Structures are given as structure tokens and as C-alpha cells.
Amino acid sequence: MPAPAGFATAMAGVPEGADIELDLRLEAVMEGVLATGTATADSVGECARCLDPITEPLEAGFQELFRYPSDDDFRAADDVDAEDEDEDYYLEGDSLDLEPVVRDAVVLALPLSPLCRDDCPGLCVECGVKLAEAGPEHGHGDSVDPRWEALRDLGEEPGDR
């Protein structure tokens, strides 16, 4: 299925229209239809440190029960908390709307703080150059505006010296 809009967090997401592969199994159970599956897609994000674009394969498993609509009366009588309302999915005739289920699974599986690599050194706090490309020798000497000096200290990782 093509990805609808909104399959994203602040740092990463599945672009609208990108391919999402669904491996889906439907099972008829007492209360309705149990949908179990895995969504596979490429998530696109930005490295949290150096802002490089990252594409990462993502796999999100889900399992959700789609209740028969007739279940509604039963539920009302059962005095179910109204707050549970959005947790329940219902069959619409013969079809079920998988989109919200897949979206929740995909968004949960997205990395909150993606990195292009585990030890990404990030950007130089003074000139913004990528430290991975500039190399370990990159520096600006001691003649630095004192206002930036403080920032540089903050940006340095322990053990860098």
C-alpha cells in the first residue's frame, strides 16, 4: 500500500506515497476478525547530530481485533469506559480499515533520535562543518570569540581531548 500522510514523527517518517509492504493474516474469531501482520517500509529521517539524511528499513508488527459492529450494543450494556473507545476497531461491513492500525505501529517503530552512525561526531559548533568529514584535526585555534568558546565546551564529547 502507498503510505498516507502522517506516518512520521519529528525526526523521521515514511514519506507520503512511499511503498509500505504489508504481510497480513486475518483470522475469524468469536468477537470479530483478528488482524495480525507486519508492515515493512523505508523510513527517512535526519541524523540527530549532523542532520544528514538517513534512510533506514523499518519493520513494524501489529495485532488488532476488529469487532463486529453488532458488538456495539453489547458493549454499551456492559458499561465500557468511554475512554477505551478509540482502542477499539470495528468491521465496516466486510472490510476493515487497517490504516490507523498500521500508522500506530509504524510511528511507534520509528527511531526517536536517529543517527547516521552510532559514533557520529556531529557538527562543528563554530563553523557548522561536519566533523566526520573535516577530520579529528579540525579546530579553530585559540583565537575564538569567547561567546562561542562556551558553546564549544558544551559540544565536546567527554574523552575528545
49 binds Zn ion (CB under 5 A): yes
Distance CA 74, CA 39 (A): 32
Smallest gap, in angstroms, from Cβ of residue 105 to Zn ion? 26
Does position 39 interact with Zn ion (CB under 5 A)? The reply is no
In the complex, the smallest distance separating the C-beta of residue 126 from Zn ion, rounded to whole angstroms, is 4
For residue 126, state whether it binds Zn ion (rule: CB under 5 A).
yes
Report the nearest approach of Zn ion to the CB of residue 40 (Å). Answer: 24
Indicate whether 54 belongs to the interface with Zn ion (CB under 5 A): no
- Select from 36, 11, 8 the least CA-distant residue to 106: 8
Nearest alpha-carbon partner for 8 in 116, 110, 127, 118: 110
Q: Which residues of 91-108 are buried (b: 16+ CB within 10 A; e: fewer)?
A: beeeebebeebbbebbbe
Segment near Zn ion (CB under 5 A); pick from 20-28, 67-75, 101-109, 112-120: 112-120
Give the interface segment with Zn ion, choosing from 16-24, 32-40, 46-54, 57-65 (CB under 5 A): 46-54
Angle at 123 between CA 8 and CA 9, to 5 degrees: 10
Give the number of residues in contact with Zn ion, rule: CB under 5 A.
Answer: 10
CB pairs under 8 A, 24+ apart, for 155-158? 155/122, 155/125, 157/121
Does 151 engage in binding with Zn ion (CB under 5 A)?
A: no
Q: How far is the CB of 55 from Zn ion (least distance, A)?
A: 13
Q: Does 127 bind Zn ion (CB under 5 A)?
A: yes
Binding status of residue 116 toward Zn ion by CB under 5 A: yes
Binding site for Zn ion (CB under 5 A): 47, 49-50, 52, 116, 120, 124, 126-127, 129
